[in-house]
Amino acid sequence: MKLSLIGLLAAALPSAFALWPIPRTLTQGTSNTEASVVGITVEGKSSAIVASAVSRYQQIIACESFVAPADYKRGIVNTTGSLSGLTVCIQGSDETLDLDTDESYTLDVPVNGAATLTANTPYGAVRGLETFSQLVTANGYGKAILNTPVHIEDAPVYPHRGLSFDTSRNFYPVDAIFRILDAMSYNKMNAFHWHVVDAHSWPIESKSIPGLHQNGAYSAGMTYYYGDVQRIIQYAKERGIRVIPEFDVPGHTYIVSLTKPEIMSCPNKKNWDHFAAEPPSGQLNIAKPEAVDFTKTIIAEYTKLFPDQVFHLGGDEVNRNCWTEDPDVQAYLAAHPGEDVESLLVNYYTKVHDYLATTGKTAYSWEETLFHSKYVPDNSTILQVWIDQASVQKALALGYRVVSSSADSYYLDCGHGAWLPNFDGNSWCDPFKSWMHVYNYDVAANVTDPAQKKLILGTEVALWSEQTDEHVIDARLWPRAAAMAETAWSGKSDATGHVRTTGEVASRLHEQRFRMVGRGINAEPMQPLWCARNPGGCDLPPS
């Protein structure tokens, strides 16, 4: 009798459900299992990725002492069994990390004895270890897993769950990027889209054109040297995160003009707003074959440095004025009747994309490459859309694979005021994207054709760094990026087809936010602590 009463009490506690992102299927019992010392062992096939993850999570589980805010009044829970350890078994030790990587896993926590985590790949094990770590809760001076036995079968809905991250407007030290990668792994995100260069700085070492970083990085100390990049790639891989570099061309390239002025149009014009989306203006001069050569050199160098199968070529926010008013371009067009800026741009994209294809990489491009030019990328190209949901539908209808970074929902820098000092106005993408707004976005909205749905690779929140640097990055990203992460991993709806609401998931996200804080990520509070402790107490009443 006593045991079942405890079971009933335990069943009322939300903790075992407080996983973020929520697993696709989860069943739980009514017992509680003591878990103060949990040794993780790997049986069978080995993998350096798994070994690294085991080491990390061993430490997290040993050091973390976490109670969900809503459980703040919980006393010590009686346990009826004890966890002897966690056994990790992987079916294959292939460490390839790409869009086809199987991240599924199965996790069993019995009332008594050893828990088991099985996965087809090392990366599935990484995901399962995160889930396991979230199950362990403080219980007085000890720890426990509640509501055992627990059985979880889990796999992501979308293979691409990313963050688009800008290190050009402001610089981030390697340690800050490590912290971002840590937090991404806590939320089962797997794609670090590194928008490494832009108009403001070229913070990455170039061995082929050293002037690029020598003149273009903010300083020698604010440069990602090859060794730094390799450390970041390795750190990410150990967390199941791909690093996809973006070298944005032909726009957003002012900084190149410090080293290669001869291939530039409209660099740093005073009336920049006529030539670019933001200062300083500058685009590669597409009338010059040397601009194509330059781009090929960049592609050649960085496709070697970055092992990922996908390579982002930018292509966003190209401004025609920059070229039509460029004397060089005008002279070229005068000498070549029948050509125009549009044909020059098609020629540029064709040569650049064709060259990328020779490296064996898959092209990734902002949507304008297709929609705002006459160039038609190969169908293997992945399109990153950001302008509106209609772009998603158009791109899918044309057979392209799509990642959405809807500015209206996923641009985490928005709503922070304009950043031109003599302009007292709002940001162009106002308002601020709250976590509820992020969570409510559905990349598959209005997409009904199952074949088209399959072309949706996933989503990326984006952080443009005009008003962000290492000192404030945590709060800009978290927990809002986590809100996207759940919708991309768990999907918008549960197994019954019910679309999850922000009111329903708030309590779990609170818990994930406090967990991240405990792990050293300065994520924003979502509400007064009183609200976190009183789920539903700060909901808007039905009208």
Told to judge if 317 belongs to the known catalytic residues of this protein, a careful annotator would answer yes
Q: Which of 279, 347, 350, 357 binds a second copy (CB under 8 A)?
A: 279
Nearer to a second copy, 379 or 422 (CB): 422
Buried b (16+ CB within 10 A) or exposed e, 350-389: ebbbebbeeeebbbbbbbbbbebbebebeeebbbbbbbeb
**Which range binds a second copy by CB under 8 A, 12-20, 359-367, 435-443, 450-458?**
435-443
- CA-CA distance, 163 to 384, in Å (whole number)? 12
380 binds a second copy (CB under 8 A): no
- CA-CA distance, 3 to 78, in Å (whole number)? 9
| CB 414 within 8 Å of CB 407 | yes
333 binds a second copy (CB under 8 A): no
Q: Which of 52, 214, 268, 297 binds a second copy (CB under 8 A)?
A: 268
Amino acid symbol at 481 = A
Nearer to a second copy, 130 or 278 (CB): 278
Q: Minimum Å distance from CB 440 to a second copy?
A: 5
- CA-CA distance, 170 to 492, in Å (whole number)? 34
Q: Which of 33, 167, 170, 321 binds a second copy (CB under 8 A)?
A: 170
Q: Which of 72, 41, 189, 142 is CA-nearest to residue 516?
A: 189
Size of site (CB under 8 A) for a second copy: 70
Which is the catalytic residue, given 64, 95, 317, 524?
Answer: 317
Q: Minimum Å distance from CB 527 to a second copy?
A: 5
Q: Minimum Å distance from CB 413 to a second copy?
A: 11
Q: Which of 308, 474, 486, 511 binds a second copy (CB under 8 A)?
A: 474
Q: Take residue 307 and report the two structure tokens written for it.
A: 């092992």
| CB 273 within 8 Å of CB 207 | no
328 binds a second copy (CB under 8 A): no
Q: Tell me which residue has tokens 């294959």.
A: 92
141 binds a second copy (CB under 8 A): no
Q: Minimum Å distance from CB 541 to a second copy?
A: 4
User: What angle in degrees, to the nearest 10, is found between the helix axes of 480-489 and 174-186?
Assistant: 50
As a dihedral over the C-alpha atoms of residue 145, residue 150, residue 153, residue 156, rounded to 10 degrees, the angle is: -30
Coil, strand, or helix at residue 258? helix
DSSP H or E segment with residue 457: strand 456-463
Nearer to a second copy, 272 or 386 (CB): 272
Nearer to a second copy, 98 or 539 (CB): 539
**Which range binds a second copy by CB under 8 A, 26-34, 129-137, 179-187, 461-469?**
461-469
195 binds a second copy (CB under 8 A): no
Q: Which of 423, 495, 496, 497 binds a second copy (CB under 8 A)?
A: 423
Q: Minimum Å distance from CB 35 to a second copy?
A: 24
Nearer to a second copy, 78 or 434 (CB): 434
Nearer to a second copy, 381 or 487 (CB): 487
Nearer to a second copy, 235 or 411 (CB): 411
Sequence-distant (≥ 6) Cβ neighbours of residue 51 within 8 angstroms: 42
Q: Take residue 111 and report the two structure tokens written for it.
A: 């009332």
493 binds a second copy (CB under 8 A): no
- CA-CA distance, 327 to 250, in Å (whole number)? 18
**Which range binds a second copy by CB under 8 A, 101-109, 112-120, 426-434, 447-455?**
426-434
Q: Which of 201, 404, 452, 459 binds a second copy (CB under 8 A)?
A: 201
Q: Minimum Å distance from CB 8 to a second copy?
A: 26
Q: Minimum Å distance from CB 252 to a second copy?
A: 12
Q: Minimum Å distance from CB 538 to a second copy?
A: 5
Q: Take residue 482 and report the two structure tokens written for it.
A: 């986590």
- Evaluated on CA atoms 129, 102, 480, 503, the torsion sign reads negative
Q: How far is CA 373 from CA 34, 337, 369, in A?
A: 61, 20, 6
129 binds a second copy (CB under 8 A): no
Residues in the chain, overall count: 543
In the range 202-231, which residues lie near a second copy by CB under 8 A? Answer: 218-219
| CB 115 within 8 Å of CB 133 | no
DSSP H or E segment with residue 236: helix 226-238
Q: Minimum Å distance from CB 242 to a second copy?
A: 27
Binding string to a second copy for residues 500 to 529, with x set by CB under 8 A, is what?
Answer: -xxx--x----------x----xxxxxxxx
Coil, strand, or helix at residue 149? strand
319 binds a second copy (CB under 8 A): no
Q: How far is CA 145 from CA 109, 111, 115, 138, 487, in A?
A: 8, 9, 11, 9, 25
Q: Which of 147, 144, 142, 113 is CA-nearest to residue 31?
A: 147
Amino acid symbol at 158 = Y
Nearer to a second copy, 97 or 462 (CB): 462
- CA-CA distance, 11 to 149, in Å (whole number)? 12
Q: Minimum Å distance from CB 249 to a second copy?
A: 19
- CA-CA distance, 13 to 267, in Å (whole number)? 61
Nearer to a second copy, 101 or 201 (CB): 201
Nearer to a second copy, 42 or 477 (CB): 477
Q: Provide the binding-site residues for a second copy, judged by CB under 8 A.
A: 72, 168-171, 199-201, 218-219, 268, 270-274, 278-280, 415-424, 426-427, 430-437, 440, 465-469, 471-472, 474-475, 501-503, 506, 517, 522-531, 534, 537-541
Catalytic residue IDs: 317
